[in-house]
Structure 1
């Protein structure tokens, strides 16, 4: 006999290891099952989308705050010295785009 163990002890050890192996194989089967894999992928994709959306929200909020800070005073009053030139430039650009589209139709 090896290491002074009885045949009953060896058999009990073999049975215990069989049960452990069966549990391990069951766990592996669950992990590689298509539904489990698909669920894991869905969770990872949802996390990535949430992170991306969060970053986009923070970036957009930063831009809006920056623009607001440029066109509104700390008291909340509009800064006409900055708004009027932008509005005039916008009207000119829209007018030129309209003229260009009109010429293409002819």
Structure 2
């Protein structure tokens, strides 16, 4: 046997007991950590955090898309200086008024 073999043979009972105690402590710690990981409240909290992260990410993407759409729409009705383009606003307003009058007319016919 080499030197490593004689070192193991030369271990005292106290050393062996200390190793066993250390191993028990490590095992108890590991079991406690596992118990926390698989506890329903821990799993629920992790799932909730993942869902919230997903919702926030999608909401952020939607906000960016909506913001871009608003900017494009704004660009259609304002010039480079930010002044309103009457030649585009007036026809759009007339179409809006026409749609409102049409909806009101249809509602009146349904009531009457």
Give the TM-score taking structure 2 as reference length: 0.79
* 60-69 or 15-24: bigger deviation: 15-24
Q: CA deviation at 1:7?
A: 6.8
* 52-61 or 12-21: bigger deviation: 12-21
Does 2:80 match 1:83?
no
Deviation sequence 1:83-105 (CA, Å, 0-9, x none) = 11111111111111111111111
Q: 1:17-56, aligned counterparts within 5 Å?
A: 17-56=23-62
Unaligned runs of 5+ in 1: none
**Whole-Å separation in 2 of the counterparts to 1:70 and 1:32:** 56
* 7-16 or 71-80: bigger deviation: 7-16
Deviation sequence 1:9-38 (CA, Å, 0-9, x none) = 555444333322211111000111222222
Computing the radius of gyration from Cα coordinates, the structure with the larger value is: 2
User: Alignment RMSD, CA only?
Assistant: 1.8
* Residue aligning to 1:97: 103
Q: CA deviation at 1:76?
A: 1.3
Give the TM-score taking structure 1 as reference length: 0.83
* 48-57 or 60-69: bigger deviation: 48-57
Q: State the number of aligned residues.
A: 104
